[in-house]
Amino acid sequence: MAAHLKKRVYEEFSRVVQIPQEEAPAKKLRLSKPSKSAALHIDLCKATNSTDALQYLLHFARKPVEVESVEGVVRILLEHYYKETDNSVRLKIASLLGLLSKTQGFSPDCIVDDAINTLNNEKSHQVLAQLLDTLLVIGTQLPESPTVRQRLIEMACKHLSDTYFGVRNKCLKLLGCLGMADTPLTKDNDGPGASLGGVRDIQSIISDFFGDQDPRVRTAAIKAMVGHRRHLVFLCVCVCVQACRLLSDDYEQVRSAAVQMVWVLSQLYPESIVPIPSSNEEIRLVDDAFGKISHMVSDGSWMVRVQAAKTLGSMLQVSHHFLEQTLDKKLMSDLRRKRTAHERAKELFTSGEFSSGRKWADDAPKEKLDTNTVNLIASGACGAFVHGLEDEMFEVRIAAVEALSQLARSSASFAEKCLDFLVDMFNDEIEEVRLQSIHVLREISTHITLREDQLDTVLAVLEDSSRDIREALHELICYTNVSTKECIQLALLELLKNLNKYPTDRNSVWKCLKFLGSRHPTLVLPLVPELLSTHPYFDTPEPDMDDPAYIAVLVLVFNAAKSCPTMPALFSDHTFRHYAYLRDSLSHLVPPLRLPGNGLDLVDSRCGSGSVESAQLFLQQSLNRVSTIQNLEAPGAQDLLNFTIRDLQRLGELQTELAGAADFCATYLRCQLLLMKALQEKLWNMAVPLCLKQNVTATAAAQQILEETYKLEFLYSGLESRQVATIHHVRLQAKALQLILTARTRQGLDPLISSCEKFLQDIESFQRLFVAELPHLQDSFVDKLLELMPRLSSCKPVEMVKILLATLRLSGLLQLRLPEQIHRATATIIEPTGESDNPLRFTTGLVVALDIDATLEHVQDPQNTVKVQVLYPDGQSHVIHPKPSDFRKPGPDRHRLITQVYLSHTAWTEPSQIEVRLLLAYSSSSTSLSSSSASKLGWSDSIDSLPPPEAAVEGTIPFSKPVKVYIMPKPARR
Amino acid sequence: MPEIKVTPLGAGQDVGRSCILVSIGGKNIMLDCGMHMGYNDDRRFPDFSYITQNGRLTEFLDCVIISHFHLDHCGALPFMSEMVGYDGPIYMTHPTKAICPILLEDFRKITVDKKGETNFFTSQMIKDCMKKVVPLNLHQTVQVDDELEIKAYYAGHVLGAAMVQIKVGSESVVYTGDYNMTPDRHLGAAWIDKCRPDILISESTYATTIRDSKRCRERDFLKKVHESIERGGKVLIPVFALGRAQELCILLETFWERMNLKAPIYFSTGLTEKANHYYKLFITWTNQKIRKTFVQRNMFEFKHIKAFDRSYADNPGPMVVFATPGMLHAGQSLQIFKKWAGNEKNMVIMPGYCVQGTIGHKILNGQRKLEMEGRSTLDVKLQVEYMSFSAHADAKGIMQLIRMAEPRNMLLVHGEAVKMEFLKGKIEQEFSIDCHMPANGETATVTTNPSVPVDISLNLLKREMALGGPLPDPKKPRTMHGTLIMKENSLKLVSSEQALKELGLNEHQLRFTCRVQLQDPHSDPDTLNRIYTHLKSVLKGYTIQHLPDGTVMVESIVIKVSSSAEDTSTKVLLLSWSYQDDVFFCFFFVSFLSLIFSKQWLRDSIDS
């Protein structure tokens, strides 16, 4: 092997060295790809001093190295390594070795020997440390080789006694990373007793370093142990004890790592029993660990506090009373027990008295406490969150809030308990914390019912001037349960106040009331006469239908009435009329009601009864029906498709849950229909010059299909690789059609050849992308093409076009299989509304900022894909990329874009309208890479190592209704 | 044994006139120099005659450290430095140095101009006193002289409040001053590293209290103010000029900002404006939020809070007014109170404790009819609220600080004796450290066990490292051989050779010898050979040499065999060893004896 390598390296140099000597142009051609290793060698030879060499190396490190030449480069580097006297250069070489071993497709086992060899001869500590790091990289690249690992571990053990902390650090890291890989060996018990012993040894070796004098080494030891532990299942109580001792280390990094170790231990053996020191009792390990980590929430260093608080959130197995202790806080004043404000509030509420807080001695202490029972040092988990939530650093507070939410989600009673604390956090000084606690409360709100006083505090935040806070709170109210009708009244009142103060919140407030109403119909019922201000005897004046506050009340009432059939009896006449109006204008807020008489109910009841299942069934049936079409030219197929498309579109309108799926199918079918139409033209039989006119329609159809396929691929989320394959298939068909059309219209072979080649490439890449899906594509266009592939690639363009045409016309309709959830990305621009008649005036040459507020649904990664397009009347258009921070995420699959776009134009004589719309940008290459997310994993795996298949197709899809804005650039005044 | 002595002149089992004397490592330090609010006579100031009967204090004190600007911590400073006489350095943090003279001047004005006292310090004295001040930065180690160094830590409480670590050699004392372990709206929480002082002198104002979370109190406060404003009422908040006032201002300011409220907030002018100016300057001393946002906007640049003018009190509509003083006993706050007391829409919020006899105290206790001067009565119809905003650490906070600093001894000051007693018990129980609580004039003595630093030569250290086994083994202490040289106040540990060289002495070797007689018929060299082979088999891991001159060496032990002239079978073994190997020799000798008495040996002897 070595000899072979040498030869190869030699070859490489010799080639390069020869260039300047022989000036043969032929050779130069061959060297169009100069070998990296050779170039490096020359550079290094040229380097006269160490700084130069370092410069070369640095420069070299910036460029990637191809797999084939890695080995040669490594050899050269090693050669220089031996010659080099300067530490820094050797250090850089060592680090480069590590970097190179990471190169994909390169197996570093051949350089293990050399690396170890260098390690043995090295004197400088820094270089030693770097070499060990390199070894670690090599070790992780060769997970299957036990001998290499064994050797590396030996090396690490040997250097553990080094005096330089860095070397010890790296040794421990090496042990931690490579020791873990021993797991498979320890499983079979017979043979590898030695390796079992070895593993034990590693553990005890690492734990020896828990007491190292250098905190950095201690940290590394703990981290190594943690890494080790993840894969090993051994329990040593001693490790536990050591870990706990390290929790009180002087250095924050050690404590922080120790917290992590305790956590790992507790996750590994939650149920094992540990004794409590200084007593006979025993508790579960997870409880013990929980207590210890809770203690760290009041640590001196905020980094540790953050870590501890975060960790607490993930310890879900902890027992109940331990969990509740974290919120425990015994107050005392002059040695007397005092009730907390929370307890007082609760008491006031239960006693029926309204909150006073007016007396000075209101919080006067009660009973005298026995001095012995007061525990000042919180033992165990006591009050951990009380501390965390009051912490000085907002990072800690946020971590604590998050931990609370995680724990509360798993325990209803804890959720109930932490409610008061979360509500308190609404008053935090930092908006982020407030927002976070509102979100958390929303997440756990399924568990809880708000008391009136709590609701009061929650609602007080509605007046916050920050829009995010208010909207988060609306979201929260949507999910809250309240207990009394007073609460409803209170909430309504506050929401109306909010509406009055911030009219832009209109939609959000209405939505909020919708949920409030539908959640608490029985509580709304007694309020109805008051809310609608009806009177048993007198007719009251009809309220103004345009008043947003009145609409808000109606939304509440109608939603409550949906599940409360007695309610409509309380409505007055105009209420019914208003219902009809609102049902039409705000159908998303007002539910269908079964109203007596009025004739309104038949429409509503019918669409109300249509369940999702039946719609689903219908969808499936329609698709099945379409699948009966055998051939694109089959008679009657077009009609069938036409009808099905119409049905599907209507279905999408009726059943919002299936809108995405129905839309998707309809678009797909439309593609097929277009294709069919294009193929059915009689033109194919005509002579070329005669059919120019028809060609136009066919070309347009091909173009349209292409566009639609991009929409299909990028506008819908939840697609599986099967559907993507189908879409690509259609695209391929469209491309084939295009090719045929070009062949017919254009003269000259050259362009035809290149487009044929391109098409062949497309087929190849299709094949590569969807290997897994090919079995499902039997009898399809692609399937046939692939069969004919050998012929296609060898034949002439004209012949190929003929084959394509034939296959295209014969290929059947690919049946669309629906995945479970398909959502269409949608965007609605809320602001500007486009209703304003007042033009936005600004001076020419200056800019004016236009506020844009839009909601996006089912858009993946909006930060990168969503753009704003501004279209001026003169046809100019600008595309603006909003900042990532302009996107907020109010809920799952929902995004909110609040941004400003800057407009500017030359002077106009009169105001005119510009159009603003949102675009969804896509790029076919980026998706095939980024689509590793979730659903498309299946095929993205296979292409990982391959270069991107084709030149990326980039484009944008408009996915919101354009909004018109009146603007008026005035000429500048002189 | 060295001792650290702590004597409170004030604040020993008491609140007020904090003044604590510490003598540590031959240095005398005065911590704080405050006045007592409760007295108007000589008891007002600490009894400096304790230090010296007559003459100046300069020669008795190495330095004075002031923890923060509250008068009970710095009120007696000009009196001490100018009237009693002290010329040494006075240390305080920058904000304290800035704000302290304002308060002293105010205090002087009230006592001299209003109450008409004579024999009080003058404005000039305050200025002179402030000239002696050396400012401190946080976490900056300041060398007072060659041995004494001090370092300030953040203490919360008020702007510029600091805890001080005083260090002489390896002995150290930490004095907390007043501190707060929970952050508030404008200040952060106290923090100290694990400095393990010999004594931690801590305040214990709230030794027996565990407080509720700050948030609840804040929310209540805001809610009350908000409700009252919405009703169209006026809210009066009597405050002292510094400290809490700023916290409440920030609280209201941010609330107004958040809730988009429009009602005006006023702040009575004078002292406070000056103080607010300093708050704006010392942003680094405030809490995280203010520090992080001051680039966009300094939180102390109030948008909604404006200066108050007397005429505004009669303006219609809602408003919030902060007015001094805090107990409604005089001045602007009382005037406004009188104006507004008649309307039940209005509200007064007392943010702190009120001394008995003040109007504040009366209304807090529910009195609705007040007698004013001139026999008029005042009907109190407005709402009276009480909100406690105090910035001292509670019992839990004190314990937390102890846990952070890990002191060897505790000493409590600035609190009531009974309460201290409780906390003392708790501290002793939880941390098992001694806790002292001396009264004024009483001295608490703590003996320390300082470690003595010794220089060690690098060569010796490296040699010993090379000798020892693999690193690390912190559990086993390792002995090393060296020579301790004490020379001119410095200690040095060097190898013996170097010591000899430095002292110009010759090296002498001390060896022990002994003789052992035994019966062995072999010839001398044979016997030696047999001993050699045996030892080789028994003492593995030691260097055993058979030297050509007829000796065997085991490490430094030399064995020689000679037979007596008359009886060749009676061999005399000569053993010689150096004193360093004494211990090893014992071990060696035992194994050697076992050789002699072993049956093997005997049998061999008989056979031959």
How do residues A944-974 score in pLDDT, each as one tens digit? 333 333 445 567 888 888 888 888 888 877 6
Name the residue in chain A with its Cα closest to that of B183: A392
Min CA distance, A425 vs chain B (Å)?
A: 8
Which of B191, B386, B472 lies at the smallest CB-CB distance from A300? Answer: B191
> Mutate which of B222, B248, B258 to disrupt the A interface (most A C-beta within 10 Å)?
B258
* pLDDT classification of B200: cutoffs 50, 70, 90: very high
Provide CB contacts within 8 A for B274, sequence distance 6+: B102
Residue B299 confidence (pLDDT) above 80: yes
Interface of B with A in 386-415 (CB under 8 A): 386, 395-396, 399-400, 403-404
Provide CB contacts within 8 A for B268, sequence distance 6+: B308, B321, B322, B323, B324, B332, B333
B452 touching chain A per CB within 8 A: no
Measure the CA dihedral A784/A790/A796/A798, to 10°: 0
Distance, in Å, from the CA atom of B328 to the CA atom of A745, rounded to the nearest integer, reads 98
The per-residue pLDDT for A190 is 35
Min CA distance, B215 vs chain A (Å)?
A: 6
Contact assignment for B259 to A428 by CB distance below 8 Å: no
Residue A904, CB-side half-sphere exposure with 13 Å CA sphere: 7
Q: Which residue has the tokens 């692939």?
A: A786
Contact assignment for A501 to B260 by CB distance below 8 Å: yes
Read off the pLDDT of each residue in A875-898 and give the average, rounded to a whole number: 84
Q: Which residue has the tokens 């949507």?
A: A478
Contact assignment for B465 to A163 by CB distance below 8 Å: yes
**Interaxial angle between packed helices A67-83 and A2-21, expressed in degrees from 0 to 180 and rounded to the nearest 10:** 90
Contact assignment for A464 to B212 by CB distance below 8 Å: no
Read off the pLDDT of each residue in B67-89 and give the average, rounded to a whole number: 91
Distance, in Å, from the CA atom of A706 to the CA atom of A670, rounded to the nearest integer, reads 12
- pLDDT tens, position by position, B415-452: 888 889 889 988 998 889 999 999 999 999 999 888 88
The per-residue pLDDT for A14 is 43
Distance, in Å, from the CA atom of B170 to the CA atom of B452, rounded to the nearest integer, reads 8
DSSP character at residue A279: S
Contact assignment for A390 to B193 by CB distance below 8 Å: no
Provide CB contacts within 8 A for A558, sequence distance 6+: A517, A579, A582, A590, A591, A593
Contact assignment for A212 to B472 by CB distance below 8 Å: yes
Provide CB contacts within 8 A for A638, sequence distance 6+: A673, A676, A677, A680
Which of B192, B213, B222 lies at the smallest CB-CB distance from A424? Answer: B213
Q: Reduce the DSSP state of residue B407 to 3 states and report it.
A: coil
CB A455 within 8 A of CB A491: yes
Residues of B assigned a catalytic role: 203
Residue A466 confidence (pLDDT) above 60: yes
CB A962 within 8 A of CB A916: yes
Kindly report the length of chain B: 608
Contact assignment for B396 to A376 by CB distance below 8 Å: yes
Q: Which tokens hold the place of A657?
A: 């849950």
Distance, in Å, from the CA atom of B410 to the CA atom of B200, rounded to the nearest integer, reads 5
Read off the pLDDT of each residue in A891-897 and give the average, rounded to a whole number: 81
Number of Cβ within 10 Å of residue B292's Cβ equals 11
Strands B148-154 and B265-267 turn out to be: unpaired
* pLDDT classification of B133: cutoffs 50, 70, 90: very high
B177 touching chain A per CB within 8 A: no
> Mutate which of B396, B416, B433 to disrupt the A interface (most A C-beta within 10 Å)?
B396
The per-residue pLDDT for B517 is 77
Distance, in Å, from the CA atom of B491 to the CA atom of A23, rounded to the nearest integer, reads 76
Name the residue in chain B with its Cα closest to that of A392: B183
Q: Which tokens hold the place of A513?
A: 């009331």
Distance, in Å, from the CA atom of B155 to the CA atom of A400, rounded to the nearest integer, reads 24
Q: Residue B584 — left, alpha, or beta (φ > 0 → left; ψ -120 to 50 → alpha)?
A: alpha
Q: Which tokens hold the place of A939?
A: 């095929």
Burial of residue A694 (CB within 10 Å: 0-12, 13-18, 19+) is middle
Contact assignment for A463 to B384 by CB distance below 8 Å: no
Contact assignment for A464 to B210 by CB distance below 8 Å: no
Comparing A806 with A870, which gets the higher pLDDT?
A870
Choose from A10-19, B104-113, B224-233 the range with maximum mean pLDDT. B224-233
Q: Beta partners for B8?
A: B20
B476 touching chain A per CB within 8 A: no
Whether the link from the prior residue into A949 is cis, omega within 30° of 0, is no
Read off the pLDDT of each residue in A639-657 and give the average, rounded to a whole number: 81
Residue A8 confidence (pLDDT) above 60: no
Provide CB contacts within 8 A for B401, sequence distance 6+: B176, B179, B181, B190, B192, B200, B202, B393
The per-residue pLDDT for A577 is 86
CB B73 within 8 A of CB B99: no
The DSSP H or E segment spanning B257 is helix B244-259
Contact assignment for A360 to B259 by CB distance below 8 Å: no
- pLDDT tens, position by position, A839-857: 888 888 888 888 888 888 8
Contact assignment for A160 to B193 by CB distance below 8 Å: no
* pLDDT classification of A32: cutoffs 50, 70, 90: very low
Contact assignment for A300 to B193 by CB distance below 8 Å: yes
Name the residue in chain A with its Cα closest to that of B213: A390
DSSP character at residue B315: -
Determine what percent of chain A is predicted with pLDDT higher than 90: 2
Min CA distance, B277 vs chain A (Å)?
A: 22
CA angle B235, B240, B242 (to 5 degrees): 115
The per-residue pLDDT for B44 is 85
The per-residue pLDDT for A924 is 66
Min CA distance, A358 vs chain B (Å)?
A: 6
The DSSP H or E segment spanning B424 is helix B417-431
Which of A163, A338, A464 lies at the smallest CB-CB distance from B259? Answer: A464
B547 touching chain A per CB within 8 A: no
The per-residue pLDDT for B587 is 74
The per-residue pLDDT for B141 is 94
Q: Reduce the DSSP state of residue A51 to 3 states and report it.
A: helix
Name the residue in chain A with its Cα closest to that of B471: A161
Min CA distance, B385 vs chain A (Å)?
A: 6
Residue B163 confidence (pLDDT) above 90: yes
Min CA distance, B458 vs chain A (Å)?
A: 14
* pLDDT classification of B473: cutoffs 50, 70, 90: low
CA angle A308, A232, A265 (to 5 degrees): 25
Residue A24 confidence (pLDDT) above 90: no
Contact assignment for A161 to B254 by CB distance below 8 Å: no
Distance, in Å, from the CA atom of A749 to the CA atom of A761, rounded to the nearest integer, reads 18
| Contacting residues of A for B256, CB less than 8 Å apart | none
Min CA distance, B603 vs chain A (Å)?
A: 44
Task: Give A205-210 contacts, CB < 8 A, sequence gap 24+.
Answer: A205/A157, A205/A160, A205/A175, A206/A172, A206/A175, A206/A176, A206/A179, A207/A236, A207/A238, A207/A239, A207/A242, A208/B472, A208/B473, A209/A160, A209/A168, A209/A172, A209/B472, A210/A242, A210/A245, A210/A246
Number of Cβ within 10 Å of residue B31's Cβ equals 27
Comparing B269 with A517, which gets the higher pLDDT?
A517
Which of B288, B404, B465 lies at the smallest CB-CB distance from A300? Answer: B404
Number of Cβ within 10 Å of residue B330's Cβ equals 14
Name the residue in chain A with its Cα closest to that of B194: A250
- pLDDT tens, position by position, A735-779: 888 888 877 776 666 777 788 888 888 888 888 777 777 777 777
* pLDDT classification of B152: cutoffs 50, 70, 90: very high
What's the ipTM? 0.80
pTM above 0.80, yes or no: no
| Contacting residues of A for B139, CB less than 8 Å apart | none
> Mutate which of B15, B181, B214, B215 to disrupt the A interface (most A C-beta within 10 Å)?
B215
Contact assignment for A163 to B254 by CB distance below 8 Å: no
CA angle A856, A860, A861 (to 5 degrees): 100
CB B196 within 8 A of CB B412: no
The DSSP H or E segment spanning B446 is strand B444-447
Distance, in Å, from the CA atom of A514 to the CA atom of A449, rounded to the nearest integer, reads 18
Which of B182, B224, B474 lies at the smallest CB-CB distance from A211? Answer: B474
| Contacting residues of B for A464, CB less than 8 Å apart | 258-259
| Contacting residues of B for A335, CB less than 8 Å apart | 208, 419, 422
Contact assignment for A334 to B426 by CB distance below 8 Å: no
Comparing A349 with B108, which gets the higher pLDDT?
B108
* pLDDT classification of B144: cutoffs 50, 70, 90: very high
CB A457 within 8 A of CB A422: no
Distance, in Å, from the CA atom of A379 to the CA atom of A386, rounded to the nearest integer, reads 14
Read off the pLDDT of each residue in B324-340 and give the average, rounded to a whole number: 83
B432 touching chain A per CB within 8 A: no
Q: Which tokens hold the place of A500?
A: 């009055």
| Contacting residues of B for A205, CB less than 8 Å apart | none
Q: Beta partners for A956?
A: A921
Read off the pLDDT of each residue in B144-164 and give the average, rounded to a whole number: 92
Residue A4 confidence (pLDDT) above 70: no
> Mutate which of A206, A392, A432 to disrupt the B interface (most B C-beta within 10 Å)?
A392
Q: Residue B321 is which amino acid?
A: V
Min CA distance, A301 vs chain B (Å)?
A: 9
Contact assignment for A333 to B209 by CB distance below 8 Å: yes
Which DSSP string do the residues of A680-703 spell out, in sequence order? HSGGGGS-GGGGHHHHHHHHHHHH
Min CA distance, A470 vs chain B (Å)?
A: 11
Comparing A943 with A59, which gets the higher pLDDT?
A59
Residue B472 confidence (pLDDT) above 70: no
Contact assignment for B215 to A359 by CB distance below 8 Å: no
Read off the pLDDT of each residue in A470-495 and give the average, rounded to a whole number: 87
Name the residue in chain B with its Cα closest to that of A422: B215
**Interaxial angle between packed helices A750-769 and A781-794, expressed in degrees from 0 to 180 and rounded to the nearest 10:** 130
| Contacting residues of A for B384, CB less than 8 Å apart | 358, 360
Kindly report the length of chain A: 974
Q: Print burial letters for A727-753: b (CB count within 10 Å at least 16), e (below 16).
A: bbbbbbbbbbbbbbbbbbeeeeeeebe
Distance, in Å, from the CA atom of B131 to the CA atom of A273, rounded to the nearest integer, reads 65
Q: How far is CA A744 from the centre of its chain?
A: 47
Residue A173 confidence (pLDDT) above 60: yes
Contact assignment for B191 to A211 by CB distance below 8 Å: no
